[in-house]
Amino acid sequence: MIDVGFLNYLEDKLVKVDQKMVSYSSGYHPDLMAALDHLMVAGGKRIRPIVTLLMGIMLGAEEDKLISLGASIELLHTATLVHDDLIDGALLRRGNPTLNSHWTPAATVLTGDYIFAQAARLAAEIGSTEAMSLFAETLSIIVNGELSQLFGKSQVPTREDYYYRIYEKTGSLFALSARAAAMISPADRKYVEPAEIYGKELGKAFQIVDDVLDFTGNQERVGKPIGSDLRQGIPTLPAIYYGEQHPDDQVLLACLDGTATQEEADGLIKRINESGVIDQALAEASLCVENAIQNLEGFPEGREKDALSELGPFLLNRDL
Amino acid sequence: MIDVGFLNYLEDKLVKVDQKMVSYSSGYHPDLMAALDHLMVAGGKRIRPIVTLLMGIMLGAEEDKLISLGASIELLHTATLVHDDLIDGALLRRGNPTLNSHWTPAATVLTGDYIFAQAARLAAEIGSTEAMSLFAETLSIIVNGELSQLFGKSQVPTREDYYYRIYEKTGSLFALSARAAAMISPADRKYVEPAEIYGKELGKAFQIVDDVLDFTGNQERVGKPIGSDLRQGIPTLPAIYYGEQHPDDQVLLACLDGTATQEEADGLIKRINESGVIDQALAEASLCVENAIQNLEGFPEGREKDALSELGPFLLNRDL
């Protein structure tokens, strides 16, 4: 969980989200239980449930429903990560060994499926078929994004391609976190669209910063080598800006089609870090955060609105 | 689809189920579309949607909802098969090449996930959170069953173990097909439980016959070698009966822990076929069908009830 002053008052609710996430797990296979415990301990910062809780409380939604919704969204996120790690062959996630590194692929596929099922059970608990539809649609968008990336061509994408890809990967689930919370609240429907845009823009900023940290981050704390996306042939915003400014750098294309040597990749990553594109990418993320905050205009005043406004700048300045 | 007189009048509705199954697919990645088409063409006999349609029509449910429910259940089934084939490393399913045989594991995992998402979207369309919960719970049961099988020990299970395993694998989804149809109908709630038992018993009979056909079936039409379950270390009802009657046959244990030679397995499968346990297993399947039919007592008379009664004996006598 995020340990930061303006969110501390949510702690008891976030503990309930965590408890809800494993509420259907008892009675199942012991190896599966162990795997789920492992995933929970290695768990993320619960940013998506934080968005759900803040948006929902601000608009007067029932706490029980928000807890189920937050837990459901975090489980959906966890399930996609489990399958994603299998697909990437990743051995570390958030600096912890992934399930994939010590389980068979079969067990990993099934554990992801099991977590999907739990996510769907919690989503159904909320009692809103509208939220349920949105939940299922979001899963489609995420998976379609992963498939597109898998089948993608080894060329430098446009910024538009990149923005759509990070919407599929990250923005869509942030958008769900905020939109579904507004949907299940008794507040006016006029809040649903701006809530969604808030989530979408916040998710976009979050992913851009994530992609920047891949170039600049502390290798040990991130748990993977600097520039690992590019080394795997995945171009992110800094590389795209760099490609626009240096269309003749052949190493960039070589990285994307997997023919670059490690030394060439090291050199390119150094050039990218020194070229000013990192600041350019962070400026873009700042614009997204501003846009997110603008969409909160007209929402009920109070500490939830304040916290949603502070969340963006906080995510921009995180160093992991 | 099943081509049999007493079900022909459902044909136009089953065509709608098939159309519904791909209704969310347009606009997605072309390779994914091709894979989905492949799966639909290789598709099964739509027995689960047939159960849903018959039960729902009999109890007065809306056709649109039944179509969505039937399509959703068939997609859930398809998604589990896609992941299952990946886990088994199976190259043929229903005599057709599986997705796994010409796709990468990554694409297969994601295609399964995508089909789960479509199934959930259709289930949400029905507008019943009760049905949605049941849907998610059924997915949990199926996946937990697969995990248990994966982690299972190489010993001869009891009949009870086997019956629970085939409930997880097959009975639970047949039970959902019938129970959810009753749930979304305007008929009295008294029908919900017997509808579920009907589905559960029919599914049990279906799976026992499937397991018998693995020993007796036409190799070319089934698309896999005779006794393939046992060769993979999976004991089914004929092998369990045989083990009860021949506790000293060491080859059975060797098959289950993967140490039997092909010649030893061939010999064991021949002994099982000649030992009378096949008829014993079929008699058990007949009992399940009788039990299923008994649970229809008190349901509204008409051609749907007649067809549900005929479905069991039909499934018992199928040769593929």
Indicate the pTM of the whole model. Answer: 0.90
Cβ–Cβ < 8 Å for A93, A81: yes
Cross-chain CB nearest to A147 (options B114, B133, B139):
B114
Residue B254 in tokens: 């060797």
Q: Are the beta carbons of B29 and A137 separated by less than 8 Å? A: no
Q: Which residue of A has its CA nearest to B119?
A: A136
Instruction: Provide the pLDDT for residue B87.
Output: 76
Cα B230 from Cα B239, distance rounded (Å): 8
Instruction: Provide the pLDDT for residue A298.
Output: 96
**Which of A147, A149, A176 is the best substitution to test chain B (most B C-beta atoms within 10 A)?**
A147
Instruction: Provide the pLDDT for residue B196.
Output: 98
Q: What DSSP assignment string belongs to A228-265?
A: HHHHTT---HHHHHHHHH-TT-HHHHHHHTT---HHHH
Cross-chain CB nearest to B140 (options A86, A105, A118):
A118
Q: Are the beta carbons of B106 and A87 separated by less than 8 Å? A: yes
Kindly report each contact of residues A184-192 with a partner whose C-beta sits within 8 Å and lies 24 or more positions away, as own/partner: A184/A56, A184/A61, A184/A62, A184/A65, A184/A66, A184/A69, A184/A126, A184/A128, A184/A131, A185/A56, A185/A59, A185/A60, A185/A61, A186/A59, A186/A60, A186/A61, A187/A59, A187/A60, A187/A61, A187/A300, A191/A59, A191/A299
Instruction: Provide the pLDDT for residue B108.
Output: 84
Contacts of B150 in chain A (CB under 8 A): 104, 106-107, 110
Instruction: Provide the pLDDT for residue A97.
Output: 65
Residue A36: what residue type? Answer: L
In chain A the domains, ranked by start, together with CATH numbers, are 10-316 (1.10.600.10)
**Which of B129, B168, B169, B184 is the best substitution to test chain A (most A C-beta atoms within 10 A)?**
B129
Please give the C-alpha separations between residue A304 and each of A48, A49, A56, B152, in angstroms, as whole numbers. 14, 13, 9, 49
Instruction: Provide the pLDDT for residue A92.
Output: 55
Cross-chain CB nearest to A121 (options B24, B32, B140):
B140
The angle that helices A129-151 and B105-125 make with each other, rounded to 10 degrees, is 160
Beta strand ranges found along chain A (DSSP E):
92-93, 96-97
Spans in chain B with pLDDT lower than 70: 1-3, 25-29, 38, 40-43, 89-102, 153-154, 218-223, 320
Instruction: Provide the pLDDT for residue A87.
Output: 76
Cβ–Cβ < 8 Å for A10, A304: no
| Burial zone of A19 (CB within 10 Å; 0-12 exposed, 13-18 middle, 19+ buried) | exposed
Counting one residue from chain A and one from chain B, the pairs whose CB atoms sit within 8 A come to 147
Residues B169-198 have pLDDT tens digits of 999 999 999 999 999 999 999 999 999 999
* Beta bridge partners of residue B93, listed in sequence order: B96
Residue A117's CB is within 10 A of a number of other CB atoms, namely 25
Cross-chain CB nearest to A132 (options B107, B111, B132):
B132
Cross-chain CB nearest to B120 (options A120, A127, A128):
A120
User: What's the alpha-carbon Rg for chain A, to the nearest Å?
Assistant: 20
Contacts of A150 in chain B (CB under 8 A): 104, 106-107, 110
Contacts of A128 in chain B (CB under 8 A): 129
Spans in chain A with pLDDT lower than 70: 1-3, 26-29, 38, 40-43, 89-102, 153-154, 218-223, 320
Instruction: Provide the pLDDT for residue B286.
Output: 97
Instruction: Provide the pLDDT for residue A275.
Output: 94
